[in-house]
Amino acid sequence: MVRPTLPGVSVSTESRPDRSADDGSAVNSDKGSAVPGAGGHPIRVPALSPSRAGDFKQCPLLYRYRAIDRLPETPTQAQVRGTVVHAALENLFDMPAGLRIPESAEFLVDGAWGALCEQTPALHDLVPDDQVDKFLSDAHKLITTYYTLENPTAFTPESCELRVEVDLAGDGDADGVLLRGFVDRIDVAPDGRIRVVDYKTGRSPGESFESRALFQMKFYALAILRLRGIVPARLELLYLADGQSLVYTPDEAELERFAKTLKAIWKAILKAGETGDFQPKKSRMCQWCDHKAHCPEFGGTVLPYPGWPSVPGATGTAESTGN
C-alpha cells in the first residue's frame, strides 16, 4: 500500500510489523516462525522478545494472556500515534538524504495515518473525525522534537525496522533461547562502529526506571553481538515527547551476563508453560491492564489454560515482538 504525498515522497505500511511497545504501536501481528510438525500440522516456535520478557517480569499472567492466549487489547490513541510516528520516521529514511526535511516528515505523518486507517478502518472509532486534527497535530509535535535531536539529512542508516532473530544455544549448555525482535534503526560508521537507535514517543524515564528502559536495548545489542560478533558502540533511546535521549555504552562481559538473565527468564517461562501456572503480580501497572476481568487480583477468574503453543496444530505462539 503506497500513498503519494509530495513529489519524491511515498508512504508504505505494507511490510511494516505491528509492534507492541511501551510508547506505542497499536497491535501485534508477528506470529513467530512456523515449522512442519507431525501430520503436516504447523508448529509455532516460541521465542522471546523484549516486550514479552518485560511482561513476564512485570506479571506472569499478563505474559500468558498476551503471548499464549493472545487476548485482544484495545489500543489507545497514544499507541496508535506511536505507530504513525514510527512509520513516518522509517519512510523518511527511505528518501534521499536531501529530502529528509521537516516538511517531508510532516507529510509522511499524514500519509502514514491515512494508510493505517485503510488497513484498519476501526481506527476511525478510536480517533473520530472531530479529533483527527489534534491527533495529527500531536504527532507533528513529536516529529518536530525529533529534529531537535538529530539531523536526518546528515547520515543514512544501515537499516530501519530490522527483524533480528538469534538462538542463544551453543554456549556450552542446552538452554537455548530464541530471541526475536525489531530494531528501529541501526547506524554503522565508516570505521565499523554500530549505533542502535530506538524511538520512544513517550517521556524519558526517571533515573529509577532507566534500567528498565535499557533492557530492550541490551536485548538488541546482545542479538547484534551474536549475529555479527561486534559489540555496538552506542545504544540510544530518543524520547520524542520531551526531547531527551538516553545513551548507553555496553561491553561484551555485561552482554554475556545479560544473556544469562534472559536464559533465566526463559527457563521460568517454560516451567510455567508446562503447567499453566502463570501467577498474577499486582503493581501500579495494573491500572492500564485490559485483562482485569480474568485476573484474581481484581476478583476475576483465570481463563482455562490453552496449553503451550509449540505442539502440532497449536494456534497460539509464545512470541510477539515489539519495542
Q: Which of 149, 175, 200 is the last residue of a domain?
A: 149
Q: How would you classify the pairing of strands 178-188 and 194-200? A: antiparallel
Pair (143, 204) in one structural domain: no
Pair (138, 167) in one structural domain: no
Output the pLDDT for position 46. 76
| Residue 287 belongs to some domain of the structure | no
| Residue 8 belongs to some domain of the structure | yes
Asked if residue 17 has pLDDT above 70, the reply is no
Q: What percent of the chain has pLDDT over 70?
A: 80
Pair (173, 129) in one structural domain: no
Using the Cα atoms of residue 317, residue 319, residue 321 and residue 323 in order, give the sign of their dihedral: positive
DSSP output for 1-48: -EEE-STT-EEE-SSPPP---TTT-S------EEEE-GGG-EEEE--B
Cell of 255: 552482554
The candidate with the shortest Cα–Cα distance to 69, out of 290, 263, 283, 238, is: 290
Pair (13, 143) in one structural domain: yes
Domain that holds residue 208: 159-259
Pair (189, 141) in one structural domain: no
Pair (255, 164) in one structural domain: yes
What pLDDT band is residue 173 in, cutting at 50, 70 and 90?
low
Output the pLDDT for position 237. 96
Asked if residue 201 has pLDDT above 80, the reply is yes
- Dihedral pair phi/psi, residue 136, rounded to 5°: -70, -35
| Residue 67 belongs to some domain of the structure | no
Output the pLDDT for position 147. 98
CB 200 within 8 A of CB 56: no
Pair (226, 121) in one structural domain: no
CATH number where 187 lies: 3.90.320.10
Asked if residue 311 has pLDDT above 80, the reply is no
Alpha-helical segments (H) within the chain: 50-58, 60-63, 77-92, 102-119, 123-126, 129-149, 210-228, 252-275
Pair (112, 199) in one structural domain: no
Query: pLDDT tens across 31-50, in order?
Result: 344 444 444 444 556 789 99
Q: Which of 127, 149, 171 is the last residue of a domain?
A: 149
What pLDDT band is residue 168 in, cutting at 50, 70 and 90?
confident
Output the pLDDT for position 287. 93
Pair (172, 237) in one structural domain: yes
Lowest mean pLDDT among 14-28, 65-79, 136-150: 14-28
Mean pLDDT, the chain, integer: 84
Query: pLDDT tens across 53-66, in order?
Result: 999 999 999 999 99
Lowest mean pLDDT among 24-28, 50-54, 196-200: 24-28
Pair (163, 144) in one structural domain: no
Output the pLDDT for position 271. 94
**pTM for the complete prediction?**
0.81
| Residue 195 belongs to some domain of the structure | yes
Q: How many residues are listed for the chain in this entry? A: 323
Domain count, the chain: 2
Residue type, 208: S
| Residue 44 belongs to some domain of the structure | no
Asked if residue 5 has pLDDT above 70, the reply is no
Asked if residue 23 has pLDDT above 60, the reply is no
| Residue 131 belongs to some domain of the structure | yes
3-state secondary structure of 53: helix
CA torsion 281→285→291→292, rounded to 10°?
70
Pair (94, 206) in one structural domain: no
Output the pLDDT for position 45. 61
| Residue 224 belongs to some domain of the structure | yes
Q: Which of 236, 259, 282 is the last residue of a domain?
A: 259
Say which DSSP state 303 is in. Answer: P
| Residue 114 belongs to some domain of the structure | yes
Pair (100, 127) in one structural domain: yes
Cell of 273: 508453560
